[in-house]
A and B are shown apart, each in its own frame.
Chain A
Amino acid sequence: MSRAAATAPGAMGTLPRRTLLPNGLVVVVRRNPASPSITLRLTFEAGAAFDPPDRAGTSEMTAATIDRGCGSLGASEIAERFDFIGASCVTRSRRDALEMETRLLARHLPDVLDLLRSIVREPAFPEAEVERERAQLLTAIAERDQDTRQVAEETLAALLYPPGHPYHASALGDRESAGRIGRGELVAFHARRVAPAGAVVVVAGDVEPDRAFDAIAERFGSWTSATAGAGRADVPDPPALPGRLARVRPIAGKTQADIGFGFPAMRRTSDEMPAAMVLSSALGEFSLGGRLGATVREKAGLAYYAYSRVSAGRAAGAIVARAGVTMAETRRAVDLMRRTLATAVARGFTPKEIADSKQALAASVSRHLETNPDAASFLADCEFYGLGIDYPGRLPALIAGVTRADVHALAEKYLNLDRCVLVVAGPDLKEEELA
C-alpha cells in the first residue's frame, strides 16, 4: 500500500493523505487537531442511480436499515453503542452514492470503527426493520408529494432524464415501488453495491494519519465482495432533450410556488466544470444570488429565494435556475427568469461579474475545509468523482484560468431556452400559459 500526500498549497491547511487498500478501498485522512473530534465518512457506489429497475427506493431503504442489525448485534444494541458515547451515525442515499457520516469524540475512534466494520460488512436487514422502514417510506412519499420544493426538484429530474435512465426516478420511489422492495432486495443490493472496490473512507479530525490508516486497514483490509464489480461504475449520459418541456404540478392549498428551469450540462469530471461554476455563480449565486437574485428578488421583490446551481455527477448533470414566489406572481417570475437567462446567453456577463465570481470561488476553497464534516464531505467528493484529493489545492488555479469568453461560450452552449425543462409546482396553471 502506498501512502501519498497530496500536493496542495499551504493555504489549504493540513494536507490530506491517501492510501489504496489491496481490496480497492481508498482511505483519505486529514488531520485537524483543533478540536478533540473526528468526522468519519464512508461513501459507496450505491446511490439511487443503482436502484434496480422498478424498485426505486432500494438505495434509500438500504441506507435506512443498514444500521438496524449486524453480526450478533440487534438494532437496539447498535443504537446504544453509538448513543452511549455521544457519537452520531447518519446514513443517506444520494443520486450516485450511499453515504455514512459518523461524528465522534476522537478517543472513541477504535470503538466506532469496530461498529462500522460490522454494520458495513455484516448487515442483517431484519425483516421487521425492513417492514418498519417501508411504512416510514410511505409516509415520506406522501409528505414529499405535498412539498412544492421537493416536487419541483423531482419533476426537473424526471424530465431531464427520460424513463429508464438511472437519474429519472425519485430516490424515494413511489407507493408501488416501495411495495416491491423486501429484505431480499436489500440483501442483494448490499451484496452488489456496498463493496470495498470503488468505495472511499475519509477521516477528518484529531487523529494521526498513520494510526487512522492502520485502524481502518485492520477492520476493512480483509473485506472482499464476491458479487460486486471492481472499479468505478459508469452512468450513461441522457439523450438530448427533444425540445422545450414544461410541466405544471398543482398542489392544493399552497401559498408559494416553486419554479425550476433545468438545462442539460456536463459531468462532474468535465474540464468545463470550473467555467460552469463561474457561470452559475454569476447567474445565481454571487452575493445576493447573482443576476437571478438581483432581478427576481432585489429589483422585482418577487421571491425570498432565487438562485442557480450546477449539479453534476457520474452522468451529465444540469444547470438549474430556481425561485420560490407568491402564487399570484408565478407567470411574472417565470417571464423574468426566462429574460434573465436569455440576456446571459445573448450578452454574456460583464467583466466585473466574472472577476467577482472568480475571486469569490477561488478564495472560498479553503473555507470549505475548515470543519471536519466540511473537509470530509469535500475530500470524499473529490475522491469519489476521480478528481483527486489535491483538487482543493488545484481548484483556485483552475478557476483563475477561466475567461469571460469561456463563460459566455458555456452559456451559449448550455442555456438553450429552446431545449430545456421548465417546472412549476404549486399553482394550477395551464402549461401553455408558461410558453
Chain B
Amino acid sequence: MSPANRRRVTSRATGASLSGVRRVRLPNGLTVLLREMPQAPLVSIWCWYRVGSRDERPGFTGITHWVEHMNFKGTRTIPKSEVTRRVELAGGTWNGYTYLDVTTYFETVQKAAMEAMIRLEASRMSECLYPKTEVERERTVVISELQGGENDPRSFLDKEVTGTALQAHPYRWPTIGYLSDLQAIDRDDLYRHYRAYYVPNNAVLALAGDFRAAEALRMVRRWFGPIRRGAPIPAIRTVEPEQSGERRVVVRRPSGAVYLDIAWPSPAATDQEFPALLVLDGVLLGGPSVNIWAGGRGRGPSKSSRLYRALVEGDLASEVASTLLPTAYPFLYRVTATAREGVEPQRVEAALLAEIERLARGDVGERDLERARNQFLARYALDCESVTDVAHQIGFFETVADHRLLLGLPERVLAVQAADVTRLARQRLSALRRTVGHLLPADDAPANGPAERTT
C-alpha cells in the first residue's frame, strides 16, 4: 500500500452496520448470525441454504429454484394460506431467491413478530409438504417465469454466453433451468432435493434489527434446536478447465437492439485477486455492488468511467454495464453493452476491448485508483443502510464463504495497487480467455430458434 493510500478504514467510514456481528453454532450445525440494530422497531430474518443451481445435474436443472417456490406452499404446522399472510399482518415484507450458490428466504417485520418469523423459517426447513396438486400448479408457474425471462433478449444472450464460457462447471446452466427438465421433474425429485439440502448443518440464519442478541438466540434455539442434523453435503468437484482460445456466440432473436456480452473467468470471492477485480471494474465502469440484493439499487451509470466514456460518449452504445458477483467458485466477469442504433456490434466490441488493452498496458493512474476505491467504499456503506440489507449481507457472505470476508473487503480494496490491476487485465482478461456474444435482431426467427456458436 502506498503512503498516499495508507488510510485507516473505520467502521464509521464504511458503514458501522456491519461490525458487531455475533456468530453462534448450534449443536445441530446451524450457524446463527446476530446483529443488534436499534435504529427502527424492525427485525430482518434471512434463512440461507448452501444450495443453488451449482448443486444440480443435467435432467434436473431448475430444481433448486422450483423447490424454493414449493417452500411457500405450506408446512405440517403452517397452512399455505398462512405462510406469507403472517408476515404481512406484521407489517412485513418477504421474499426469497435462488442463485448459483444459495437459496434464501427473508422476512422484515415489526420487532414484535420476530419469534413468529423464526418459527416460520424453522418450519420451512423441516416440515414442508409438497402435495402433488401444488407441484403440478407450480410447474406451469415456473415455466411461465422461464418464458418471461426469454422475452428479454439480454437475458437470452446472458444464458448463451454463460453456457459457452463455462463448459464443465455446473454454474453453466441457468438457475431457472431448461424447459425439458421443468417438464420432467416430478414431486419425488423435488422432495428428495428439499430433504437433502434443507438441514441445519447446511444453513445460516442471519438476524439484524431491534432485538437483544441473547433473547433472539433463545428463540432460535427453541425453534431450530430440535431439528436434526442431516447428512453432509458433497462439495462441487468439477473445476472449470482453463480456457485456451476465444469463444464466440451469435444469437439471432427478435429484438429492438443489438446487444454485446463479453465474459472472462472471475475468481471466487475468497480469492486474493477478487478485491483487485473490484478495483479493475471500478476503473472500467465504476465498480459493482457486493450486495446482490440491493444490486446497485437506484444507481445510474458511472459517467466518468472509462467504458462509459469510450462507448456511450463515443457514440457507439446507448448503455454499458458490468457484472461481478461474489461466488463460492470461479465464475464470470462480464461487460454488456447495447449498441446504438445503426452501429455495428464489431465497432462496439473493438472499442470495449481497446479499453481492456489499455489496462493491460499499464495505463492505470493514481486518480483512477482513488476514484475506484472511493466509489467502492461509498457503495459498501450505501448498500447497508437497512436491517434488511445488513442481514442479507452477513448471511450471504457466511453462506458463500465467511461473513468476515465482507468485513475485511474495504481494507483489501484499499490495498490494491495499479500493478495488481494491470496484472489482472493481462492474465484474466486476455483474448485467449474471453467469450464474446452478440445478439442480432432477427424478426423472423422462431422464439426457440437455435443460437449459432463458433469456438
Contact = CB atoms under 8 A, between A and B. Distances in A.
A184 to B, nearest CB: 22
**Majority-rule SS of B interface residues:** mixed
Interface string A127-158: 00000100110111111111110000000000
A362 B92 CA distance: 11
A356 to B, nearest CB: 6
B45 to A, nearest CB: 14
Given A83-B371, A84-B371, A301-B139, A286 B88 contact: yes
A371 B378 CA distance: 16
B378 A256 contact: no
Contacts of A30: none
Interface size class of B (residues with CB under 8 A): 35 or more
A84 B138 CA distance: 47
Contacts of B308: 79
B447 A254 contact: yes
Interface stretch (A31-39, A186-194, A264-272, A381-389): A31-39
Contacts of A146: 153, 254-256
Interface in A295-351: 297-305, 324-327
A135 B315 CA distance: 8
Contact of B341 (A138, A325, A426): A138
A78 B148 CA distance: 38
B110 A363 contact: yes
A36 to B, nearest CB: 6
Contact of B151 (A89, A147, A302, A371): A147
Contacts of A299: 137
Interface in B49-85: 72, 81, 84-85
A371 B141 contact: no
5 contacts: A13-B40, A84-B304, A305-B148, A326-B147, A366-B41
Contacts of B250: none
A140 B300 CA distance: 16
B143 interface: yes
Most chain A CB within a 10 A radius of its CB, from B150, B286, B370, B382:
B382
Contact of A253 (B93, B254, B298): B254
Given A132-B313, A288-B72, A363-B89, A88 B141 contact: no
B151 A367 contact: no
A367 B387 CA distance: 11
A254 B151 contact: yes
A62 interface: no
A429 interface: no
A141 B256 CA distance: 8
B375 interface: yes
A409 B91 CA distance: 26
A389 to B, nearest CB: 18
A318 B136 CA distance: 35
Nearest to A129: B313
B148 A36 contact: no
A87 B378 contact: yes
Interface stretch (B8-16, B163-171, B353-361): B8-16
A370 B381 contact: no
Interface string A250-261: 011111100000
Contacts of A370: 40, 42, 386-388
B323 interface: no
B318 A136 contact: yes
B403 to A, nearest CB: 18
B387 A101 contact: no
Closest A-B pairs by Cβ, 4 of them: A86-B378, A363-B91, A253-B254, A79-B303
Interface in B332-348: 338-341
Given A83-B371, A146-B256, A255-B147, A302 B443 contact: no
B446 to A, nearest CB: 7
Given A256-B148, A356-B89, A88 B300 contact: yes
A34 B39 contact: yes
A199 interface: no
A177 interface: no
Contacts of B384: 35
B192 interface: no
A148 B92 CA distance: 31
B172 interface: no
Contacts of B151: 147-148, 254-256, 426
A88 B255 contact: no
Most chain A CB within a 10 A radius of its CB, from B12, B297, B298, B371:
B298
A297 B144 CA distance: 10
A85 interface: yes
Contacts of B447: 253-255
A218 to B, nearest CB: 24
A321 B142 CA distance: 21
B108 interface: yes
B37 interface: yes
Given A36-B16, A143-B257, A255-B151, 8 more contacts: A36-B12, A79-B302, A135-B318, A252-B254, A302-B141, A303-B141, A363-B110, A367-B108
Contacts of A7: none
Most chain A CB within a 10 A radius of its CB, from B138, B150, B152, B384:
B152
A35 B338 CA distance: 36
B180 interface: no
Interface in A76-130: 76, 78-80, 82-91, 101, 103-105
A37 B385 contact: yes
B402 interface: no
Interface string B122-165: 00000000000000111111111101101111000000000000
A135 B298 contact: no
Nearest to A251: B254
Contacts of B92: 363-364, 367
Contact of A104 (B12, B338, B378, B385): B378
Contacts of A217: none
A373 B137 contact: no
B146 to A, nearest CB: 8
Contact of A139 (B37, B303, B318, B446): B318
A360 B89 contact: yes
Contacts of B136: 301
A135 B376 CA distance: 31
A339 B117 CA distance: 35
Contact of B140 (A88, A135, A302, A367): A302
